[in-house]
Amino acid sequence: MASASPRVSKDGQDDNVERVTTVSTATEQNGSLNHRASIPQSKTQEGVGVALASNAATLDVQMRGYANGYHFPPKYPIKEQIRMGLVAFWDFYNTGFGFFLTIYSLNVIAWGGMLFLLLCNAAPAMCWVDGTFDCNHIDSPRRIWIETTSQILNALFCVTGFGLAPWRFRDWYFLLRYRLRNDQKALRTLAGVHRGWFRLAGSEQLPVHLGPKNIEETTAVCDVDSVPHPFSTIPDAPPTGIRAPSTKLWKLDFVIYFNVANTFLQCVLSGFMWALNRYDRPSWSTGLFVCLACIASAVAGVMMGVEGKHVKTIEGVPLTKRDIERLARDRELGIPHYNNIKDKDPEVEKEKARSKREKKWFGKSEKSGLGTDNERQAFCD
């Protein structure tokens, strides 16, 4: 199935980039999704077996290929990657959201860098107050600029901490409904919101051809609890023909609670920054709550990124026309490409990881041995 997505070229003209996704056609349709299929108790054990089989199948096809002929995009040379990245960034920057996000990010980087330099006392000339050199004097230019920079950074962090609060509290509400009332519809709604990285239990058993475009018209019999709500938020049909196994529910709790924690910590930080002046505010408050708020937001983002990468490793990513042409050209030239998301030999990667672990343990044992020898020498002396 191919669909064309318009992209603006450097000359200002529109050219179509074909997004190609390959879908397995071996699945037959029999039934209706709108009818709830009651799953016996034995299906729970079968679901675990399917998840293990999915992982095993993924490892098996990394070297041989997928049944539907899918191949991951090739790895481009570093110069070509940089050029493609710059073109993609320019296309994103020309959108309203892209322009706003770019300006916002530059401000965070610039003011954050200035605060770092001030804390490191990179400008000693700012420490003079009435002929006295005192970097920690409350009225020194250094302390005044630290206060100014901290207030600006706090305002920038409020944009995300408070701006995203309605969606974060919405997710928290649905999560509490599921945890306290066992509301499956609330969990399905969260699965639709986080469709990029979260997979429901039993979703790996869904027909591989199902996607947002054909979910309403399908006649396949599926358990409705394994499909996000609304149906249109179901993940795209996996190009590899293999669906990722279900995501552990504690990871969803982890992301939602840390996002909510970021908003609460931002409220505390804003209270210190706005309710107290720089003479009365405790010196530890600003640094502590800025650090905690950043950590809470970062760990949630890392969790989503890691799980999203895991899903793409199994389900694949759509191929562009450029990817297909490069694969065909390299195949004719005899240039090999490994059929995984990193385009690397899995055996070589395993050997590197094994060597790294061995070096790590060898270093620990060597240090332990040196410590023992030193203790013996000291005892003998």
- The pLDDT tens digits for 236-249 are 999 999 999 999 99
User: What's the CA gap between 296 and 265, in Å, rounded?
Assistant: 9
What is the predicted pLDDT for the residue at 68?
87
* Token pair in block for residue 132: 């006295």
Range in 48-57, 119-128, 340-349, 372-381 with the lowest mean pLDDT: 48-57
Q: Is beta strand 319-320 parallel, antiparallel or unpaired with respect to 14-20?
A: antiparallel
| Band (218; pLDDT cuts 50, 70, 90) | confident
Distance CA 153, CA 287 (A): 12
> How many angstroms separate the Cα of 103 from the Cα of each of 98, 110, 117, 157, 239?
9, 10, 21, 14, 35
Q: Chain-wide mean pLDDT for the chain? A: 82
Q: In terms of residues, how long is the chain?
A: 381
Number of C-beta neighbours around residue 233 at 10 A: 17
Distance CA 292, CA 285 (A): 11
Measure the CA–CA gap between 112 and 291, rounded to whole angstroms.
12
The single-letter code of the amino acid at 129 is V
Q: Which two tokens stand for residue 52?
A: 């293990």
User: What pLDDT is stored for residue 371 in this prediction?
Assistant: 55
Answer whether residue 40 shows pLDDT above 70: no
Q: Which tens digits make up the pLDDT trace of 136-195?
A: 888 899 999 999 999 999 999 999 999 999 999 999 999 999 999 999 999 999 999 999
Q: How far is 215 from 91, CA to CA, in rounded Å?
A: 31
- % of the chain with per-residue pLDDT over 90: 55
Rg (CA), the chain: 27
Query: How does DSSP classify residue 231?
Result: G
294: its two tokens: 């950043």
Please, which pLDDT band fits residue 27 given cuts at 50, 70 and 90? very low
Task: Report residue 95 CA to chain centroid gap.
Answer: 22
The CA distance from 232 to 227, in Å, is 10
Q: Is 265 exposed, middle or buried (0-12, 13-18, 19+ CB in 10 A)?
A: buried
Task: Express each pLDDT in 59-113 by its tens digit.
Answer: 444 445 788 889 999 999 999 999 999 999 999 999 999 999 999 999 999 999 9
When pLDDT is averaged across residues 115-129 and rounded to a whole number, the result is 90
Q: Tell me what pLDDT residue 240 has.
A: 93
Most confident of 45-59, 208-222, 244-258: 244-258
pLDDT at residue 9, rounded to an integer = 41
Range 16-41 average pLDDT: 39
Residue 54 scores a pLDDT above 80? no
Name the least confident of 123-127, 162-166, 253-257, 362-366.
Answer: 362-366
**Scanning the structure block, which residue is given the tokens 């493609």?**
84
Q: What is the pLDDT of residue 33?
A: 44
How many other C-beta atoms lie within 10 A of the C-beta of residue 199? 26
Q: Express the helix, strand and coil content of the chain in percent, nearest 5 each.
A: 60, 5, 35
What gap in Å lies between CA 184 and CA 36, rounded to an integer?
13
| DSSP assignment letter at 234 | S
Least confident range from 39-43, 198-202, 273-277, 377-381: namely 39-43
The structure's pTM equals 0.75
pLDDT, position 14 = 44
